[in-house]
Amino acid sequence: MLTVVALQDEAGVLLREDLLARALPVHRQLRPALPEDAAGYRTTMARVFAGGARMFVALDDAGQVQGVALWRIYENTYQGRRLYLDDLVTGEAYRSQGVGKALLAACDAEAARQGCAFFALDSGTWRTDAHRFYFREGFTIQSFHFVRPLG
């Protein structure tokens, strides 16, 4: 049995610091530059959450974090209100078992609840397995994302 849990309340207040700490090893599988220690991770994520991001975690029956979804709601001029998925990662041991699908479903429900017209994400060009998953889930490629480092 898989349960998806929101880590924040409506105002963005962190409700489950215990789950945030347990999400770190899974989240680092996608974002290895994240701090390795729980305190550093908490500090980094507090800044990310202050910018509007929210997190869902997928838990098994034993309370083990199997996956993480980091998302935010915002509005732009070309799509209106949308849910943007910053990060979606399933722990390596749990891949192809429906964890990513469950996290996407939770994001879909949140997007509908918040009146979003679109669900968007970016995915690195090298992540071909993730792309196959996103295509199966109904996502399409609609633009290129350009980046230029500063400094």
What pLDDT score does 121 carry? Answer: 93
The DSSP-derived string for 115-134 is T-SEEEE---TT-HHHHHHH
The widest CA-to-CA distance across the chain, in whole angstroms, is 47
- The residue whose two tokens read 């838990």 is 59
Q: pTM for the complete prediction? A: 0.93
Whole-number Å distance between alpha carbons of 69 and 58: 8
What pLDDT score does 6 carry? Answer: 98
Whole-number Å distance between alpha carbons of 76 and 72: 13
What pLDDT score does 71 carry? Answer: 98
Contact (CB, 8 A) for 60 and 1: yes
What pLDDT score does 145 carry? Answer: 87
Determine how β-strand 3-6 pairs with β-strand 54-59. Answer: antiparallel
What pLDDT score does 27 carry? Answer: 98
Q: What is the spatial order of strands in the sheet that 54-59 belongs to?
A: 3-6, 54-59, 65-76, 80-90, 118-121
What pLDDT score does 10 carry? Answer: 86
What pLDDT score does 93 carry? Answer: 94
Per-residue model confidence as pLDDT tens for the chain (151 residues): 899 999 999 889 999 999 999 999 999 999 999 999 999 999 999 999 999 999 999 999 999 999 999 999 999 998 899 999 999 999 999 999 999 999 999 999 999 999 999 999 999 989 999 999 999 999 999 988 889 999 8
Question: Dihedrals φ, ψ of 8, to 5°?
Answer: -120, 160
